[in-house]
Each structure stands twice: as structure tokens, then as C-alpha cells.
Amino acid sequence: MSVALITGSSGHVGSNLIRKLSALDYKIRCIDFDGDHRAYESFNVELIKGDITNKESLYPIFKGVDIVFHTAALINLDRRFRKAIETVNIEGTRNVCEVALDKSVSKLIHFSSVDAFYRFPIDEPLLEDRKLIEDRKGMPYDFSKAEGQRIVYNFCEKGLDASIIHPTSIVGPNDFKPGLPMQAFVDMANGKRKLMPNWGYNFIDVRDLCDAAISAVHNGKTGQNYIIGGNYHMYLYIGELIGKQLGRQVVYGSLPEFITYLPLPFEYIRALITNKPRVLTLDAIHTAQTGNKVVPSSLAREELGHKPRPIEETIYDTIEFFQKRGLVN
């Protein structure tokens, strides 16, 4: 039985990987970083304390591991936290790759992001040969994902067998600590966002993403990156789907774009007082405004058997999950 190690196992992708791998012939080992075990409820997993930013802590964890799914990342669009973002997403990835190579891991699946690529032009198909971001002065998260990918490439040249996964915006059930955009779905369902900006994005169901990642274990080529996308949808349509499922209107129309900028000063003050990351930033607005509209995922379809499900199914299962967790009324 192969031993699969998941970094970031308490997160959205990690929790769904646990569910997928449990149905297959894998022994699952998880790095217990934050003590949040909700994602593991009723699943037989081995938990070991560790931290990807502490390389020495990883060596005993990687003992006997065959496959590593590296999902751990700090998703933060507040530039004040650049150092923390780079420590986790760059140095943490370097540590994972180095230990994986030292411990002769058979396969590493590295989860990057489409944000690692330059966005423009947004109307042209987003393909695997799109240039990676090189400007460290830009968005820290985007640069960190691009730099993390370059590190993986470097270790592939040293003998590590790794494939890279680039998801679009991840949505779907089994998210026990929702961030963006999942919290937006919860807020819409609870009537807290009656007006939504006239924006859209390419959404990928987390379960389809995990299927592609698991397929990449055997079918992914060394050093190859795979864009895993679904379909482009407007947030207004997402609100319409949520409303149909709940039997009530939850979004009433579009929000004038200039209004989205008005809360920025108040969000900045709140973040200074609480010393917590800002949720709404200029970078966050820019990201929402510039989602790539054409994401064919042709390589993933051909080599990994990627087949994204309809967004309607994803939204239904997601809202049902949040209702069971008591997050949606």
C-alpha cells in the first residue's frame, strides 16, 4: 500500500484529497500544523506534527512516503504580509522539495495557481506556456506561487519526479474554514451580499481538481505544469443558482464598480487595529476584475483525463455542505 503525504491537509483541497484517497488503496499521512482536525473527521489518517517552514521537522514525516501532495500555502492578498507569504510559499516549497528528494519520494504533486502566470491578455486562452510572474514588486502571493514553481523545476533537474497543478478559483464542498471566494458564497446565501460586482471568474470544483492531481501521480510528466480549470461564470449567476436552491432571492442586482473601492480605507484601519490581514485590498479587486475568461485545460484533459462537472452541481453540493455545517440558514 502506497503512503501518500498531504501538506495543508486541513484546508479545502487537503480535506477533499483525504476523501478521494480514502476510497483508493492509499495509506494517508497528514502534517498536523494548526491542530484543526475537522477535515479528518471519521477518516483513518496518520497525523504527525510538523511545519513546512522547518525543514528538519519534515525528515521524520517523510520517512516511508511514496507520494507527496503539496497543497500547503499562505493565501493572503495583503502586501504587509509579504515576508510571511514568501516564507511559506517559497521557502516552505523549497523545504518540501529538498526533503522529498533526499527521502527518494516517488512522486511530488505541487499545487500552484493560475495566479502564478501573467494575467494579460485576459481574453486569450490561458495555456501552460504563459510566462510566469517575475516581478517581486507586484502581488506577493502571485510572485510566491511563480517562484515556488521555479523551485520545483530546479529540483526536477536534480532528479525529483514532480508535476505541477495550476487550479483556477477553487470552489466546492468540504471547506471547513472558507476563505475567498467561498466566504462570498456563504455571504450571498445568508443575504449579506444583495448586490454583487459585475465580475466573473473561472471556477473549478475541488473534487475535479483532486481527481486531476491523483491522476497526475501516474500520468503526469516530470516537470510538466497542468492548468486545471472549469468554466467562466459571473458572480451574479452564482447568486442566482444559490437563490434557486434556497427558494429565495439572495442577490438583487449588480453593484456599480466604483462602490467596491469605497470600503478600502475602513478595511485598512480595521486591519491596523486588529493586526490581521485585509480581506479587501486593491490587489483583491484587481484579481477579481482580471480573471482569465478562456481556460481550455486541454493538456489536463488529454493527459490527466480532466473533465470538469457543471457549476450547477458544484453550487448545489457546496450550499448543502454549508447548510449541514450550520453556516447557511
Compute the average pLDDT of residues 302-323: 98
pLDDT at 285 over 80: no
Confidence tier at 165 by pLDDT (50, 70, 90): very high
Q: Which residue has the cell 466566504?
A: 183
Compute the average pLDDT of residues 147-151: 98
Identify the pLDDT of residue 264: 79
The domains found in the chain, sorted by start residue, are 2-177+202-232+293-309 (3.40.50.720)
Compute the average pLDDT of residues 23-33: 92
Identify the pLDDT of residue 272: 82
Residue 133: all three cell numbers together: 510572474
Work out the percent of the chain whose per-residue pLDDT is above 90. Answer: 74
Nearest partner of 222 among 136, 146, 160, judged by Cα: 160
Compute the average pLDDT of residues 58-71: 97
pLDDT tens, residue by residue, 210-267: 999 999 999 999 999 999 999 999 999 999 999 999 999 999 999 887 888 787 788 8
Which comes out higher in pLDDT, residue 95 or 39?
95
Instruction: Bin 251: left if φ > 0, else alpha if -120 < ψ < 50, else beta.
Output: beta
